């Protein structure tokens, strides 16, 4: 019995050799009589970037104190802060709840400046303005439907309540009002996700309108929370550093991303290569494909079966960390028309996935009435992206493949359920 190993995207010769050695050693422990066949395609069919990455926008020449550290200008600082706010709209209020004002709660019966801000936000949450610039802007940004839930969430947040209690004078209250306005703005945009179409100027105007209604000045300089979180955002999100490293990052990711794009546009030569390797041998075969290798194998087997020339010696297809099921759901799998089932002649398909691998998908729910298709979950206990490459060190993977095949090479009925 032959076992062909087809690698995934971005893999080149040195890495393939090391991975194949690992897979071969592990498989021989379970299938000692198997003829293990390497199927390397990255050199001939993988992408090579031409033109020296001239498509990458040039970096600004400004630098920090060290030559290799990009400086953060006002734009980068603004982008970093709003990135943090979109991830956690209450982050500024959380800081102000800790550092604002004092523990002196003022004169009994007299509403403090902070309490006034709290009352204004509660009123806004309960009664959205029916006319004027604010509702028009909300509509144009595509966030109107999220107005009530977001404003109620901010108005009812413990962070906001504590920041208001600690705002004992007009200066503190204006800072809390500004932070609340940014929290509401960020919350609306985050809730709308891709449905929000918003420029930085529109975002700032929305925050200004909320700030004015709450009694603050959103873009007043010197805010304590803004200063603290702006520095933190630059350290965590490092947009200037990403800009600085964009060219080398793009070049480094080009093999992985480029292989996928090239296959989707011109996958025929790779499928022809795989078919030639499969047909060149004799006897039953097991095909193991990782990531893009699995996509190419699913396409090849489906297309061969559809044209009534199935690869009859293939007894089992094993995909590992595969995107093929997701591509089929999107109507983007080359080998199958959108919504179509697997054709007669397609072999049994064992799909192995790790739920921590963001590039791994389940196949059985996509083909729910096809007994040939089964999923098996494993775990490397690693986060993504390490989980995508860690399959080959998981003993359960090899055990599951071996369980699907008896020593004779004929699949056991029901072995891959």
pLDDT at 169: 87
* Strand 348-353 relative to strand 373-377, pairing: parallel
| Amino acid 199: pLDDT | 81
Domains in the chain and their CATH numbers?
A: 2-46+267-403 (3.40.50.1820), 74-239 (no CATH)
- Per-residue pLDDT of the chain (417 residues), as tens digits, is 899 999 988 888 998 999 999 999 999 999 998 999 999 988 888 766 555 555 545 555 444 443 444 455 666 667 777 878 888 899 889 888 887 544 454 445 446 889 999 999 999 999 988 889 999 999 988 899 999 999 999 999 999 999 999 888 888 899 999 999 999 999 999 998 878 878 888 899 999 999 999 987 655 434 555 555 545 444 444 445 445 444 444 444 445 567 788 888 889 999 999 999 999 888 899 999 999 999 999 999 999 999 988 887 899 999 999 999 999 998 999 999 999 999 999 999 999 999 999 889 999 999 999 999 999 999 998 878 778 888 998 999 999 999 988 544 444 444 433
User: pTM score, two decimals?
Assistant: 0.62
Cα–Cα separations (whole angstroms), residue 55 to 103, 250, 260: 56, 10, 19
Rounded-to-integer distance, Cα 156 and Cα 97, Å: 14
In degrees rounded to 5, what are phi and psi of residue 167? -85, 95
The C-alpha atoms of residue 115 and residue 113 are separated, in whole angstroms, by: 5
Surface-to-core class of residue 230, CB atoms within 10 Å of its CB (0-12 exposed, 13-18 middle, 19+ buried): middle
Contact yes or no for 403/415 (Cβ under 8 A): yes
Crossing angle of helices 74-87/170-192, nearest 10°? 70
Other Cβ atoms within 10 Å of 197 Cβ, number: 11
């Amino acid at each position: 019995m032959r076992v062909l190993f087809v690698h995934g995207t971005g893999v080149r010769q040195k890495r393939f050799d090391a991975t194949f050695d690992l897979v071969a050693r592990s498989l021989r422990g379970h299938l000692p009589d198997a003829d293990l066949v390497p199927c390397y395609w990255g050199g001939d069919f993988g992408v090579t970037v031409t033109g020296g990455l001239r498509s990458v926008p040039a970096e600004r020449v400004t630098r920090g104190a060290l030559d290799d550290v990009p400086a953060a200008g006002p734009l980068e600082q603004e982008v970093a802060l709003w990135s943090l706010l979109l991830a956690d709209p209450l982050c500024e209020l959380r800081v102000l709840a800790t550092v604002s004002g004092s523990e002196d709660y003022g004169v009994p019966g007299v509403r403090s400046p902070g309490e006034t801000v709290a009352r204004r936000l509660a009123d806004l949450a309960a009664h959205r303005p029916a006319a004027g610039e604010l509702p028009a802007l909300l509509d144009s940004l595509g966030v109107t439907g999220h107005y009530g839930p977001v404003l109620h969430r901010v108005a009812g947040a413990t962070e906001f309540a504590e920041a208001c209690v600690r705002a004992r004078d007009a200066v503190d209250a204006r800072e809390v009002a500004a932070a609340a306005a940014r929290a509401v703005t960020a919350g609306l945009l985050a809730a709308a996700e891709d449905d929000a179409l918003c420029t930085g100027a529109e975002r700032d105007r929305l925050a200004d309108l909320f700030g004015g209604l709450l009694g603050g000045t959103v873009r007043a300089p010197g805010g304590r929370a803004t200063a603290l979180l702006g520095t933190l955002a630059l350290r965590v999100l490092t947009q200037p550093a990403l800009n600085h490293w964009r060219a080398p990052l793009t070049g480094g990711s080009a093999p992985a991303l480029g292989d996928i794009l090239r296959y989707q546009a011109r996958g025929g030569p790779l499928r022809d290569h795989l078919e030639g390797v499969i047909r060149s041998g004799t006897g039953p075969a097991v095909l193991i494909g990782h990531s893009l290798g699995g996509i190419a194998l699913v396409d090849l087997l489906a297309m061969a079966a559809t044209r009534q020339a199935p690869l009859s010696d293939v007894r089992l297809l094993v995909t590992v960390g595969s995107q093929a099921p997701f591509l089929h759901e999107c109507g983007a799998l080359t080998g199958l028309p959108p919504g179509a089932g697997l054709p007669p002649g397609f072999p049994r398909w064992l799909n192995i996935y790790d739920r921590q691998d963001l590039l791994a998908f389940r196949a059985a729910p996509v083909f729910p009435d096809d007994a040939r298709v089964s999923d098996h979950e494993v775990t490397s206990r690693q986060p993504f992206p390490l989980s995508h490459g860690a399959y080959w060190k998981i003993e359960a993977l090899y055990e599951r493949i071996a369980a699907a095949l008896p020593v004779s090479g004929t699949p056991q009925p029901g072995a891959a359920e």
